[in-house]
Amino acid sequence: MNAVAVIVGYGFHEAVRRRVFTVVLVLTVAFLGLFWLANHYVFSDLASIQPPRDVHVDTRTFAGSFLVGLAMFATLFLGVVLAVFLTLSVVTGDAERGLLQPLVVRPVGRSTLLLSRFLGASLVCVGYVLAVYFLAICIVALTGHFWPDVIVWPGLELAGGVVIVTAISCLGSVLLSSVANGIMVFMLFGGGLVAGLLGSIGHALDSHAIKHAATIASWALPFEALYQDGLRMITEHQTGLNAFLLQLGPFGGAYVHGSPIRIWAGIYLLLVGAAALALFTRKDL
Amino acid sequence: MTSALAVHGLRKRYGPVEALRGVDLEVGAGELVGLLGPNGAGKSTLVKILAGLVRATNGSAEVTGARAGSSSARAALGYLAELFRFPGWYTADEVLELHQRLAGSAGGAAERRRLLELVALAEAADRRVDAMSKGMQQRLGIAQALVGEPRVLLLDEPTSALDPVGRRIVRELLERLRDRGTSVLLNSHLLSEIELVCDRVAILRGGEVVAAGRPHDLAKPRGVEIETDQGTQLIEGATRETVPRLVADAVAAGRRVYNVRVLASTLEDVYLEVVGGETT
């Protein structure tokens, strides 16, 4: 346990000294400031927003749910950026620079080392995602007097999605150099978002084939499915066409949901973790 | 008695390249063994297998009786990699503290101070790594390898970035470690350094040990050189045992003898002979 704490501290120290947190803090403050401004203008001029005539929903719910959805996407994106930059070089990148070898030969062992780096990055990312998510919810509530139907679970699912990305990045770092790993993870993240958009198109067109393809992609990349499930829950109590429109979400629809995806996300995390540990244990450094 | 390091039939293949082809090597307790060979001979691969950084394809490698790479093997080891770096934002003291905690050393500040003094970095304890010269970082690397008083030390090119003073510091340190009973496997290109400090040497070529033994056992006699009032004469084939007779003959012949030198090939001569001038 002591070794885990030492390595978690090492990773944290590294992030502080590389000013990762400073950059993230500045960008987050900028995002939240702009988000507050957007909310301020939207809710001070609600009369100008006209939901479709056949949608029986009040304007405040219509605007508020879209803004929360937007905040969720931004939170996921910022969380993923943080996760990737904290973990993209934990194995191959650090080994190429000669930082890893002196640590690996110590008695702590490779599994402890990798798990600790993952744990440290995950703790930071989960804290960050939850903080930004709840601040964004508060901004919407304070400026527009709108609260999502479900508040806590969407935040937890966003955090879970970022933890999965962290695990994928750790696995990628065993196999790829820093740059290649960063590109790989961001392309997977982009692929997940595209799958969400594909699902939206499939639902709009009522195309079974497109919906099926989007569902498979979401299960293959469960961070996207968790994000979708979070989107679903912010307007969970809406029904019919209202729910259909609101759950489209700004960047991908809310179609994969419920306990099965949460359970699958847990299994997926274990599988990715096991693969990373197995490959790292066998890797020549 | 268990060897500090024991390698038997060790093979390592990187794809089509066979880096080690059945290497056998033992390092006894308190023994200082030098590893020599041209670039690509497999020296670093051998050291990395012993450190648990690289997996052997075949054969066995043990550290104090434990499989190389196992937790107990790593607990007995101190290792300096050929290419290493410490985070630039750490101070020398912080680097050692990190490694103390990872190695489970209870030496505390006193051990860190002692190690920094050993490598002549006592004044730089609070200096950040990125403000240190390459030579200082190399010496800090050696101090890091000594954290927790390991029984076995693997040093891969420890003096490559050092100036003559730094090399002397390391040489004296190695002699002190040997006196303390620490076993050392020293991988270096500097033949003179190996010759000066090592009890035994092993020369690798193409992944195989092509010569091994004590430096003076590997050296071959090259005759005796006698300096007299009539000049310097080289008597080929003569050995140390023949010196009294040679001197007596010279004196009997009325010559004045000023100096006698028994000539033997240097480790460099032996190295060049077995390696055949190979470099990559």
pLDDT (tens digit, 9 = 90+) per residue, A29-82? 999 999 999 999 999 888 777 766 666 667 888 788 888 888 999 999 999 999
Q: What percent of chain A has pLDDT over 90?
A: 52
**Given A3, A97, A98, which is nearest B102 (Cβ)?**
A3
The amino acid occupying position A46 is L
Grade residue A183 by pLDDT with cuts at 50, 70 and 90.
very high
Report pLDDT for A231.
85
Tokens of A139: 């901004």
What residues in A contact B17, CB-CB < 8 Å? none
Q: What percent of chain B has pLDDT over 70?
A: 98
What residues in A contact B72, CB-CB < 8 Å? 107
Residue B81 and residue A101: Cβ atoms within 8 Å? yes
Report pLDDT for B264.
77
Chain A, window 100-159: residues with a beta carbon less than 8 angstroms from a chain B beta carbon: 101-109
Grade residue B1 by pLDDT with cuts at 50, 70 and 90.
low
d(CA A237, CA B83): 60
Check whether B116 has a pLDDT greater than 90.
yes
Q: Of B101, B105, B129, B144, which to mutate for an interface test with A (greatest number of A Cβ within 10 Å)?
A: B101
What residues in B contact A14, CB-CB < 8 Å? 87, 89
SS3 of B41-88: the string is CCHHHHHHHHHCCCCCCEEEEEECCEECCCHHHHHCEEEECCCCCCCC
**Given A2, A102, A108, which is nearest B144 (Cβ)?**
A102
- Looking at chain B, which residue has its C-alpha nearest residue A1? B102
What residues in B contact A98, CB-CB < 8 Å? 81, 83-85
Grade residue A254 by pLDDT with cuts at 50, 70 and 90.
low
Residue B79 and residue A14: Cβ atoms within 8 Å? no
Q: Evaluate whether B5 touches B63 at the Cβ level (below 8 Å).
A: yes
Cα pseudo-dihedral B142, B146, B152, B157, rounded to 10: 0
Grade residue B112 by pLDDT with cuts at 50, 70 and 90.
very high
Inter-chain CB pairs, A–B, below 8 Å = 68
Grade residue A251 by pLDDT with cuts at 50, 70 and 90.
low
What residues in A contact B83, CB-CB < 8 Å? 98
Residue A99 and residue B71: Cβ atoms within 8 Å? no
Q: Which strands, in side-by-side order, build the sheet including B257-264?
A: B231-235, B221-228, B257-264
Report pLDDT for A33.
95
Q: Is the interface score ipTM higher than 0.90?
A: no
Cβ-defined contacts of A69-73 (< 8 Å, 24+): A69/A231, A69/A234, A69/A249, A69/A250, A70/A35, A70/A250, A71/A35, A71/A133, A71/A136, A71/A137, A71/A139, A71/A140, A72/A133, A72/A136, A72/A154, A72/A158, A72/A227, A72/A230, A72/A231, A72/A234, A73/A227, A73/A249, A73/A250, A73/A251
Report pLDDT for A245.
62
Pairing of strands B231-235, B257-264: unpaired
What is the architecture of the domain spanning B5-214?
3-Layer(aba) Sandwich (3.40)
